[in-house]
Amino acid sequence: MKKQVSWNDYFLSIAAIVATRSDCVSRGVGAVLVRDSSIIATGYNGSPKGIKNCSLGGCDRCKDKLLGKIPSGEQLDKCICAHAEENTIAQAANNGISTKNSILYCTHLPCIQCSKLLIQAGIKKILYKEDYASTLTIKYLHQAHISLKKVNKHIANLSS
């Protein structure tokens, strides 16, 4: 008998698939926003609508990072890409869906800017797979009483 995948593994697997839509040359990130075990929004990092894709040379910051001129996690304000978490919240807002008391499943630990947005959006819990170069994220999420959990478990390949 096949064992049913847990909700956490299910939604983290979906976040990984969402990340494959990213056009960022630096890092592909995917996020899934969930309430009551239902997906309310998804998002991935990439250039805003109508702006040249990062993968087509649209982001000078990402180019400089790849060349080693900018360390990971720094000068994010110079990046043209909207982050997966931002796009997830924007998608919910565009569809008139409240994000209050929802859970975010993300391929990476959110950056500090996204963490502030997640706090303001009323997210109650964040589960993520990969660390990110952010020293303040965990501190502020804990101060805001948002549950934060790194999931180390390997997520099975769903395409097989």
Cα separation of 150 and 51, whole Å? 33
Q: Does 74 qualify as catalytic in the annotation?
A: no
Q: Which residue has the tokens 């209050």?
A: 100
Tell me the CB-side half-sphere exposure of residue 37, using CA atoms within 13 A: 4
Asked if residue 141 lies in contact with residue 111, where contact means CB atoms within 8 angstroms, the answer is no
Widest Cα–Cα separation across the chain: 52
For the chain, state the CA radius of gyration. 16
Q: Which two tokens stand for residue 52?
A: 């040249």
Active-site pick, 74, 85, 86, 130? 85
Q: Which candidate, 72, 68, 145, places its Cα nearest to that of 111?
A: 72
Q: Give catalytic residues, as residue numbers.
A: 85
